């Protein structure tokens, strides 16, 4: 069994896999991460390997525990990925984006693929049907848009994502909801339309904490999977061990 661990900017996500099957998923705060993972080992004693990807600060206790309990693979820039990296500054490309690109290539071979990760930031990553990673875009995530309006103004309140009843806000709160939510939805549809216009057949994969909230409100047909990064870690592990 494999334990896949994703250390993000704010939270840690983990999942236990038996070959290609996701057995159980866990989400927890970075504080007390080692204790949380120890509980996973106790619940799933069959775990023998682990795969770690980190965009945040690594937790030393967690890292030590994974090395003690499992055969640990940490995804880094020198890892063997199933695509050709054509990014102009490959040394700055986030590990999470590389893992997602790998998952898209392995799950949807031979296609043009656009992976959208709607988390703290929204990242767009495009891999063409020849297996070339070309890059994409980064923009503020949904909650970051609310936080920015509150932080950089004198009187706008701090709100959290909520679908407004109308496109036209009738109060300060509903106007903020309209700007944040519809603004991001229009951005997403616009980006997708540009990729489809240039590459015609494009498989769209959306993941991240806001994937479920956003995906059902988009005009375009997409594969929404909030677990795609964890599943991509498992696919990359299986690919590496083949």
Q: Is 188 helix (H, G, I), strand (E, B) or coil?
A: helix
Q: Which of 6, 96, 117, 210 is catalytic?
A: 96
Q: Is 223 helix (H, G, I), strand (E, B) or coil?
A: strand
96 is annotated as an active-site residue: yes
> Is residue 89 classed exposed, middle or buried when 0-12, 13-18 and 19+ CB atoms within 10 A define those classes?
exposed
Nearest to 211 by CA among 141, 106, 136, 160: 141
Cα separations (Å) of 241 from 5, 63, 236?
18, 21, 9
Distance in angstroms (rounded) separating the CA atoms of residues 210 and 101: 19
Question: Which residues are identified as catalytic?
Answer: 96
């Amino acid at each position: 069994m494999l334990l896949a661990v994703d250390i993000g900017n704010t939270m840690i996500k983990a999942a236990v896999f038996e070959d290609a099957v996701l057995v159980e998923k866990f989400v927890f705060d970075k504080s007390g991460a080692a204790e949380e993972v120890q509980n996973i080992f106790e619940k799933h004693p069959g775990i023998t390997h682990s795969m770690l990807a980190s965009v945040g600060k690594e937790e030393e206790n967690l890292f030590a525990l994974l090395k003690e309990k499992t055969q640990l693979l940490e995804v880094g820039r020198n890892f063997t990925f199933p695509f050709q990296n054509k990014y102009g500054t490959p040394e700055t490309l986030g590990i999470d984006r590389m893992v997602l690109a790998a998952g898209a290539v392995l799950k949807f071979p031979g296609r043009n693929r656009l992976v959208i990760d709607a988390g703290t930031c929204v990242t767009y990553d495009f891999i063409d049907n020849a297996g070339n990673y070309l890059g994409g875009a980064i923009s503020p995530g949904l909650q970051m848009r609310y936080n920015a309006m509150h932080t950089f103004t004198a009187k706008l309140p701090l709100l959290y994502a909520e679908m407004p009843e109308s496109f036209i806000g009738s109060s300060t709160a509903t106007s903020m909801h309209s700007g944040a939510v519809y603004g991001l939805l229009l951005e997403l549809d616009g980006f997708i339309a540009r990729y489809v216009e240039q590459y015609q057949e494009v498989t769209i994969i959306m993941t991240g904490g806001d994937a479920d909230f956003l995906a059902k409100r988009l005009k375009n047909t997409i594969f929404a999977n909030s677990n795609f990064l964890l599943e991509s870690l498992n696919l990359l592990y299986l690919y590496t061990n083949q």
